[in-house]
Structure 1
Amino acid sequence: MTRLFPARSSHASAYPGLSRRASWLMTLSTALMLMASLLAAPVQAAPAYTIDKMKDNVYRYTAGNYRSVFMVTTEGIVVTDPINPEAAASLKAALQKEFNLPIKYMIYSHNHADHTLGGEVFKAAGATVVAQRYAAEDIAWTRLPTAMPEVTFKDKMTVSLGNSWVDLEYHGPNNGRGSISMRFMPANVMYVVDWIVIGRMPYKDLQGYDIHGMIRSTREILAEPDFDLFVGGHAEKGSREDVEQYLGYIEALYTAVRDGMLAGKDLPTLQQEIRLPAYKDLKMYDAWLPLNIEGVYNTFINDSYFRFRTDIPGQEKS
């Protein structure tokens, strides 16, 4: 018989100075507390896989906190980010069961591994792999263990299938390498991963992000013909107004950090003083605002070389 504690003499107390009954109760209490702590320990849950219709023939696939989009046509299916091998296999099985159509194209949104792993699942199913050329270059150079893009483009490309098509566009640096927008037509659904997020703050301290590029690329999206629905690689779907709110936040964040640094304020001071109450309803506002500030601060230090600005109080002089 397995014991939680070493066996003791039936006449000896486990706790000197206590009666045998009191000692037994103390031992039982300790064992129950240990079991409770084990049961309360966090368990790594499997991600939830769901499919939701967005508009017409365009659907959203959710795997945990990640989202991709696929389009079903008369000639086959276009999928986007595989996310990881398990998520890709689950989606492939669901598509086969529901539609029984070939998967003709898989399009990477950008180079980051947390969106591109699992590409071999769709490649093996016969899909042609598409990516912006800088994303393809990074996948090759870093030897990322996923399907290599076969078709690449520089600025714009249209993938047509059956009676539908996807307009792909590169807007310059914004998040990772080769990150693009995808407009699914004729449904007119816009899909962007990472550099536009609806209803939630940008991720933590903006690792891998280019705040200049985020602003510029989002402005470009809003300058183009209106879309009917926006779907992101994380968080919520939304409207043009939601994207405008997001742009307002990152512009306000950029301005507040820049102006504070130009006044000679250090990072802890900026994190203590900057409040953007117009955006306090965004998810993770309290937890991630200080981290967002840090991310923008580091951009000014590392990319804009604020440490070498002679006009900023307290900065190094070169």
Structure 2
Amino acid sequence: MMKTQNPLITFLLILSLSFISSTAVADEYEIEHIQGDIYRFIDDRHRSVFLVTNEGIVLTDPLNPKAATWLKAEIKRLFNVPIKYVIYSHNHSDHIYGAKVFDDPDTVFIAHELAAQDIKITKADTVIPNVTFKDDMLISLGGHTIELRYHGPNDGRGSISMLFQPEKLLFIVDWIVIGRMPWQKLWSYDIQGMINSTQQVLDLDFDTFVGGHADIGNKFDVQRYLNYLQDLYDAVINGIHEGKSLDEIKKSVQLENYSDLKQFDQWLPLNIEGVHERLMEESGMGWRPDIK
């Protein structure tokens, strides 16, 4: 069983991490304590999380080789316990190409079967996961559990949610973003799939949300993100049915209720364009006889 950490030691560790974060090499990287035994690693726009226990560490997305090298050295210096598991959120290279830094016979690499399949078939320059799952998987270590779930298509191949208990912390990469607009033209996104998947995770028991990009939030923030996706999707669908061109839809869709989100002015037109492309091409609205 995991021993309860001395509050003074915890406080001193957090202070130490805060100092380290502010003096990182060229201010490129940052480790911050979130809650309990969970920490967030920040590399510019990218984020991952890791769980520290007396039995070892569960690390999520290792990002890129340079960032992973720094993180490995800091984990060794601060905690000096082995990396037991590395979990991939999905198949995209910007989140998993640092895995070779942590490649070790005693470290288990885990991903959804579709992510692992894509990594292998496309000959991605990273560690091929040696454990995969189809629907869900439970990892237990040091008095904690991590619930891995596949929610269907949303972004990339084999993108999953990771729910850390007892912290009630949910980690998801790319297809839910808090405090910021979805990425530009929503490249690689299955937008209806994102809506479906986000509806599913709102039924999970979590209080804190951490994404692979942008801000930390809560269940209310995730619901608001879903509302934005649905409002955006509906507005573009309605515009198409009204016979409007893409330029006309861009001018008419305002969605001012979400104007506080970062990159709103710059990316709303791009979000509209991305949704329009998916609807006209992937959903086939461009050649439907009921569309003008």
- Residue 262 of structure 1 aligns with an amino acid whose one-letter code is H
SS in 2 for 1:296: helix
Which residue in 2 is equivalent to 1:58?
Answer: 38
Q: Is the 8 A contact 1:105 1:127 kept in 2?
A: yes
Distance in 1 between residues matched to 2:279 and 2:176, nearest whole Å: 21
Q: In the TM superposition, what whole-angstrom CA distance separates every residue of 1:209-229 from its partner, at most 9, and x where no partner exists?
A: 01001100000011223x121
Q: In the TM superposition, what whole-angstrom CA distance separates every residue of 1:25-58 from its partner, at most 9, and x where no partner exists?
A: xxxxxxxxxxxxxxxxxxxx96721011111001
Q: In the TM superposition, what whole-angstrom CA distance separates every residue of 1:216-245 from its partner, at most 9, and x where no partner exists?
A: 0000011223x1210000000001111111
1:70 aligns with 2:50: yes
RMSD: 1.2
Q: Does 102-111 or 299-308 show the bigger shift?
A: 299-308
Q: Report matched runs for 1:39-58 at 5 Å.
A: 48-58=28-38
SS in 1 for 2:132: strand
Equivalent in 232, 237, 242 of residue 263 of structure 1: 242
Which residue in 1 is equivalent to 2:281?
Answer: 302
Runs of 4 or more above 2 Å deviation: none
Q: 1:47 to 1:259 in 2, by over 3 A?
A: farther
Aligned residues: 268
- Residue 271 of structure 1 aligns with an amino acid whose one-letter code is K
Q: Report matched runs for 1:215-226 at 5 Å.
A: 215-225=195-205
Q: Report matched runs for 1:137-286 at 5 Å.
A: 137-225=117-205, 227-286=206-265
1:289 aligns with 2:274: no
Q: Is the 8 A contact 1:103 1:125 kept in 2?
A: no
- Higher CA-based Rg: 1
Q: Is the 8 A contact 1:48 1:64 kept in 2?
A: yes
Structure 2's unaligned 5+ residue stretches are 1-24
TM-superposed deviation, 1:132: 0.2
Which residue in 2 is equivalent to 1:111?
Answer: 91
Distance in 1 between residues matched to 2:105 and 2:34, nearest whole Å: 24
Distance in 2 between residues matched to 1:305 and 1:237, nearest whole Å: 36
SS in 2 for 1:139: helix
Q: Is the 8 A contact 1:191 1:230 kept in 2?
A: yes
Distance in 2 between residues matched to 1:167 and 1:285, nearest whole Å: 33
1:102 aligns with 2:54: no
Q: Normalized against structure 1, the TM-score is what? A: 0.83
Q: In the TM superposition, what whole-angstrom CA distance separates every residue of 1:178-216 from its partner, at most 9, and x where no partner exists?
A: 000000111111000000000000000000101001100
Q: Is the 8 A contact 1:47 1:64 kept in 2?
A: no
Distance in 2 between residues matched to 1:139 and 1:129, nearest whole Å: 13
TM-superposed deviation, 1:124: 3.1
- Residue 169 of structure 1 aligns with an amino acid whose one-letter code is R
Q: Is the 8 A contact 1:107 1:131 kept in 2?
A: yes
SS in 2 for 1:301: helix
Distance in 2 between residues matched to 1:100 and 1:186, nearest whole Å: 23
Q: Normalized against structure 2, the TM-score is what? A: 0.90
Distance in 1 between residues matched to 2:204 and 2:175, nearest whole Å: 17
- Residue 87 of structure 1 aligns with an amino acid whose one-letter code is A
